[in-house]
Amino acid sequence: MLRLIYLLRRKPELSREAFQQYWRDQHGPLVASFATTLGIQRYVQVHTIDDPANEAMANARGGMEAPYDGVAELWWDSEHALEHALADPLGQAASAALLEDEGQFIDFATSPLWLAIDLPQVNPPGPEPVATPRSSWIKLMFPLRLLDSLGFEDGQRYWRTQHGPIIRSHAAAAGIARYQQVHRVPHALEAALRESRGTQTPAYDGHAEVWLDRGHLPSSPEARESSHRAIEDESKFIDFKRSAMWFGKELVFIDRREWN
């Protein structure tokens, strides 16, 4: 499946609470109403939460970009499915309606978006964890930019083949229930989506997702060692100053994957 990642910063005149309320109560249902027209198979909002761990994680990496206010995640069956939806007149009308509504609460210039594919790393059998607002689950979002010295392809390769196994080996000690790498895929549609919004912030090279149960976070020496080892290896391929990380809660508006 192909995923659209859309990191959101709110318009300056809005509080985070007002931004998230409009996004949840007004825009979310609007997206859902166009799901069939646009061929959307899954749509999730990840709402950023204020948590002391956000700053602690950034400080442990020598300082990072400020967390975004949220992340919109949309899935299609394939590149062809997305291209077909956006080429259809009904799809174009739906996209225009969504773009107009986005202008009510999103700061377009500072909200980057890109297309990506999922590469599961820790993915146990059974139901996927979902960090719903009333659960103890939290979702770590880590949009990252690779070191210029590595380049895009070599950086993504290191992330996938070297860093992934390290995190998998420490998953139990760190309390990781699920870990997924989401790698950016350069695509012509990205430029069109950015141009229609006047996006200025460059896309990230991908992001990592980790699901944790806040009610059962380990505090053992093994957990501390796993965190140290992860950061040590991240520094070999991630530009921390141009990356960000924070915790959020998930709102699932559409999930049609089981219908396929």
Going by C-alpha positions, the residue among 31, 110, 123, 109 that lies closest to residue 75 is: 31
Tokens describing residue 231: 């950061």
Q: Contact 69/6 with Cβ under 8 angstroms?
A: no
Model confidence pLDDT, tens digit, residues 155-192: 999 999 999 999 999 999 999 999 999 999 999 999 99
> What pLDDT is recorded for position 258?
63
Q: How far is CA 258 from CA 73, 83, 84, 246, in A?
A: 18, 22, 22, 29
In the numeric block, the tokens 């990840």 are attached to: 46
Tokens describing residue 30: 């609007």
The CATH number for 2-259, chosen from 3.40.50.720, 3.30.420.40, 3.90.1010.20, 3.30.70.100, is 3.30.70.100
Cβ burial, residue 229 (10 Å; 0-12/13-18/19+): middle
Report the alpha-carbon distance of residue 227 to residue 225 in Å, rounded: 5
Model confidence pLDDT, tens digit, residues 203-225: 999 999 999 999 888 888 989 99
Q: Contact 138/247 with Cβ under 8 angstroms?
A: yes
Average pLDDT on 244-250 reads 98
List, in sequence order, the alpha helices (H) in the chain: 16-22, 28-33, 35-38, 52-60, 79-87, 89-102, 152-158, 164-174, 188-197, 221-234
Average pLDDT on 224-237 reads 96
Model confidence pLDDT, tens digit, residues 75-100: 999 999 999 999 999 999 999 999 99
Q: Say what angle helices 79-87 and 89-102 make with each other, to 10 degrees.
A: 90
Phi-psi region at 175: left, alpha or beta (left = phi > 0; alpha = psi -120 to 50)? left
Average pLDDT on 23-44 reads 97
Average pLDDT on 32-53 reads 97
> What pLDDT is recorded for position 87?
94
> What pLDDT is recorded for position 260?
42
Q: Say what angle helices 89-102 and 188-197 make with each other, to 10 degrees.
A: 50
- CA–chain centroid gap for 168, Å, is 20
Report the alpha-carbon distance of residue 88 to residue 74 in Å, rounded: 18
Q: Over the range 6-20, which residues count as b (16 or more CB within 10 Å of their CB) and which as e?
A: bbbbbbeebeeeebb
In the numeric block, the tokens 């991630």 are attached to: 238
Tokens describing residue 175: 């309390």
Q: Report the mean per-residue pLDDT for the chain.
A: 96
The region of weakest confidence among 111-125, 196-210, 215-229, 238-252 is 215-229
Q: Please state, for a pLDDT cut of 70, what percent of the chain lies above it.
A: 99
Domain ranges of the chain: 2-259
Average pLDDT on 28-55 reads 97
